[in-house]
């Protein structure tokens, strides 16, 4: 991956944010491997960047001093690890101050599928959802330490999957489908209490390991830096908002509405990343010449 310091859209009006990213997007790309795979990873920090960056894969079990160290602009680092344990894991930049590198968007998810595919029920639909706090001033590290967040995002956007908010989208599913949410809490500080309004989690797998199965869970706490897999089956058509039940976070951005409809179309693992907002034409906005 490449460390890219760039602006990204984080709100339905098109508001942009000076983010630090993996490969130019927040969250970074989903990495997906199978239990037992060898992962060869290289991080490039282009010379055009201003800051050092690093990569910490929670799916790896390797020495952090040699592998997760920060590299300056113009440098690269490579390392290899075996994905020994199945699950959903966090990855993030560990360059100091790490709290700022995570808050500004340097995080993502790595899925390690179990070798035995029948270790759990087959999912009909899958989504990756990553929760993170939003700090309006990306340079205010003190605010990050003081936990004074201005909003909470799913997949790098405030109310990104909330169709009742301007510019918001939704997560689609058909009634009766087993929807598997690969959920990561990037923090940097707040806990998530993940809850499906109007539903109950069919199964929850701590860290996404099939061996860690819970059944019939209403709300499950995922700490910063942790992750879990959530299976839900919405039997009837309708709207089922997925929220963190820490309401100061939900009502400031962390609501994703799962809409069950027979007309639901296939969707990508992490929809609307990057978030592209089309600006409506008005009578005072000149139409570009073609």
Partner 1 sequence: MTEALEQLEGIAQVQADAIPNHVLIDHDGRHRTQEELVALLNQLIIAHGGCRAAVMKSCITAGSSAFSAPSASPLSR
Contacting residues toward partner 1, per CB under 8 A = 11-13, 15, 134, 136, 150-151, 158-159, 162-166, 170, 197, 237-239, 241, 243, 250-253, 255, 257, 259-261, 263, 280
Bond prior to 205 in cis (omega within 30° of 0):
no
> Cβ of residue 199: shortest distance to partner 1, in angstroms?
14
Report which DSSP code applies to 253: T
Distance CA 201, CA 218 (A): 6
Nearer to partner 1 (CB atom), residue 77 or residue 255: 255
Nearer to partner 1 (CB atom), residue 106 or residue 258: 258
* Residue in the block written with tokens 């909330």: 162
Nearer to partner 1 (CB atom), residue 13 or residue 76: 13
> Cβ of residue 250: shortest distance to partner 1, in angstroms?
7
> Cβ of residue 287: shortest distance to partner 1, in angstroms?
18
Cβ partners under 8 Å of residue 274, min gap 6: 8, 9, 24, 25, 26, 156
> Cβ of residue 123: shortest distance to partner 1, in angstroms?
22
> Cβ of residue 252: shortest distance to partner 1, in angstroms?
6
Do residues 221 and 215 touch, judged by C-beta distance below 8 A? Answer: no
Distance CA 162, CA 259 (A): 10
Q: What is the dihedral of CA 245, 259, 135, 187, to 10 degrees?
A: 60
Nearer to partner 1 (CB atom), residue 102 or residue 242: 242
Nearer to partner 1 (CB atom), residue 17 or residue 22: 17
Q: In this structure, what token pair is assigned to residue 199?
A: 């539903």
């Amino acid at each position: 991956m490449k460390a890219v310091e760039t602006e990204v859209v984080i709100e339905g009006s098109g508001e942009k944010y000076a983010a630090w990213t993996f490969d130019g997007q927040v969250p970074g790309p989903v990495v997906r491997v199978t239990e037992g795979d060898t992962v060869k990873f290289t991080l490039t920090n282009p010379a055009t960047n201003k800051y050092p960056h690093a990569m910490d894969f929670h799916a790896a079990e390797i020495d952090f001093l040699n592998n997760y160290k920060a590299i300056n602009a113009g440098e690269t680092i490579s390392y290899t690890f075996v994905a020994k344990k199945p699950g959903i894991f966090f990855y993030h930049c560990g360059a100091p101050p790490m709290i700022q590198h995570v808050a500004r968007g340097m995080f993502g998810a790595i899925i390690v599928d179990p070798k035995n595919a029948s270790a759990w029920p087959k999912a009909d639909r899958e989504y990756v959802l990553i929760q993170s706090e939003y700090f309006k001033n990306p340079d205010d590290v003190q605010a990050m330490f003081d936990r004074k967040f201005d909003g909470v995002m799913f997949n790098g956007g405030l109310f990104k999957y909330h169709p009742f908010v301007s510019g918001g989208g939704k997560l689609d599913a058909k009634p009766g489908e087993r929807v598997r949410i690969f959920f990561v809490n990037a923090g940097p500080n707040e806990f998530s209490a993940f809850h499906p309004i109007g539903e109950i989690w069919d199964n929850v797998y701590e860290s996404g390991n099939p061996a860690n199965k819970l059944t019939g869970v209403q709300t499950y706490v995922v700490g910063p830096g942790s992750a879990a897999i959530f299976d839900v089956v919405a039997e009837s058509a309708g709207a089922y908002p997925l929220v963190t039940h820490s309401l100061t976070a939900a009502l400031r951005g962390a609501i994703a509405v799962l809409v069950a409809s027979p007309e639901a179309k296939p969707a990508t693992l992490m929809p609307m990343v990057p978030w592209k907002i089309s600006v409506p034409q008005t009578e005072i906005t000149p139409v570009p010449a073609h």
